[in-house]
Amino acid sequence: MSDPAAPRSGSGSEENVEYRVAHLHDRLAAEELGELGVRAEVRAGAVVVTGTVPSVQCRQTLLRVVDEELAGLTVHSDIVVAETAGPDRAEEL
């Protein structure tokens, strides 16, 4: 298994983005967001953050951390808040 922070061939800018994304993964795993199934990947020169979180507050915390770690980069986020409330009416079968 290769080290995500290890030097790679390519431009220094690409290496820097990969390093920052790896650091974001480390931070998400170490903090209160560690249980989340959130992914961050470099695609076409931007970082794409995807996943599902249990609450709006968790989404806000996640986006704050992403902003801190990836400041200055183009970031696209597709973070979905899971609906955890029970249905408000009976389901018709």
Tens of pLDDT along 34-75?
A: 656 789 999 988 999 999 888 889 899 999 999 999 999 999
Output the six-digit token pair for 20. Answer: 């920052």
Please give the Cα distance from 42 to 19 (Å, whole number): 11
- Is CATH 3.40.50.300 the classification given to domain 12-81? no
Strand order in the sheet with 39-43: 39-43, 46-53, 75-81
What residue ranges in 7-85 does DSSP mark as E strands? Answer: 39-43, 46-53, 75-81
- pTM of whole model > 0.85? no
- On whether the CB atoms of residues 33 and 62 are closer than 8 A, the answer is yes
